[in-house]
Amino acid sequence: MIPCYVGGRGMFATATTWDFKVAVIGLLEESGLGYDTRYRYYRRQFPEMDTTQLARLVCDPIENYDRDWPQWRAAQTAASDEQDLITAFFLERDARFRAEAQAAIFCLDEAGFGSGINVMRFVQAGKPILGFYRRSTQSRAVNVGNFLQLRMEYPGVVTLCAYQSSNDILDEVQGWLTALRTVRS
C-alpha cells in the first residue's frame, strides 16, 4: 500500500473538491493500492464512522473535528491569538500526514495558495504528484498555466490529468498507483 496525501482546496472548498476527495479516499480504501494518511489517522479517532462519512469529515478544517484540539488548545497558555493556535495545531498534524505520504493526489479545480504550497512541498521532497483539473470548467480563479508549468518543469514528479467525470479520476488514480507500485517493487 502506498501512503498518499489526498489534497485540494481546504477551508473554502465546495462540493467539487469534497466529491473528489471522498471518491479518491474511497478508492484507496477499497482497492488496497494505497491509503490517505489523514483519513487513516482520523480512522482511529472515529472508528464508528463509515468510509464515506469519515472521508467527507476529513475535508473540513481539523479544529472542527479533531478530538485532541480542545485539550491541545487548553494547554497553550502563552499564546492567545486563536488563528495562530489553529494554524500551529493544523501545521503539526499536516506535517505528519505529508511526511508519511509517499505520493500526493490533488484536486486542482479550486486550488488556492495553500494547495500551491503543499504541491511545492511534495515537489521539493521529490514525491510523485498526480493532479486533476477540469479543462472544460476552468475558473478565472484558477490559473491552469501554473500547474502546467509544474508538469513541464518537473516531469518526473508531476503528472496532470484533465478530466470530464469522476470515473476518469478513479481510473487514472488506479492506473497511476499501480504503475507507481510496480516502479517501487
- 100 with 3: CB under 8 angstroms? yes
Task: Output the pLDDT for position 48.
Answer: 96
Helix or strand (DSSP H, E) at 162: strand 158-162
**pLDDT tens digits along 110-162:** 888 888 899 999 999 999 999 998 866 555 567 778 888 999 999 999 999 98
In the chain, which residue ranges form alpha helices assigned H by DSSP? 15-31, 37-45, 51-57, 69-75, 82-100, 113-125, 144-153, 166-184
- From the list 2, 1, 6, the residue with the least C-alpha distance to 97 is 6
**pLDDT tens digits along 151-185:** 999 999 999 998 887 788 999 999 999 999 887 76
Sequence-distant (6+) residues with CB within 8 A of 90 are: 61, 62, 63
> What structural domains does the chain harbor?
2-184 (3.40.50.450)
Task: Output the pLDDT for position 14.
Answer: 77
Task: Output the pLDDT for position 79.
Answer: 65
- 93 with 62: CB under 8 angstroms? yes
Task: Output the pLDDT for position 17.
Answer: 86
In the numeric block, which cell numbers belong to residue 180? 507507481
- 137 with 109: CB under 8 angstroms? yes
Q: Cα(102)–Cα(1) distance, rounded to whole angstroms? A: 10
Helix or strand (DSSP H, E) at 56: helix 51-57
Site of grid cell 490559473? 143
Task: Output the pLDDT for position 15.
Answer: 76
The average pLDDT across 80-91 equals: 90
Task: Output the pLDDT for position 139.
Answer: 55
- 142 with 111: CB under 8 angstroms? yes
**pTM of the entire predicted model:** 0.92
- 25 with 170: CB under 8 angstroms? no
Task: Output the pLDDT for position 110.
Answer: 84
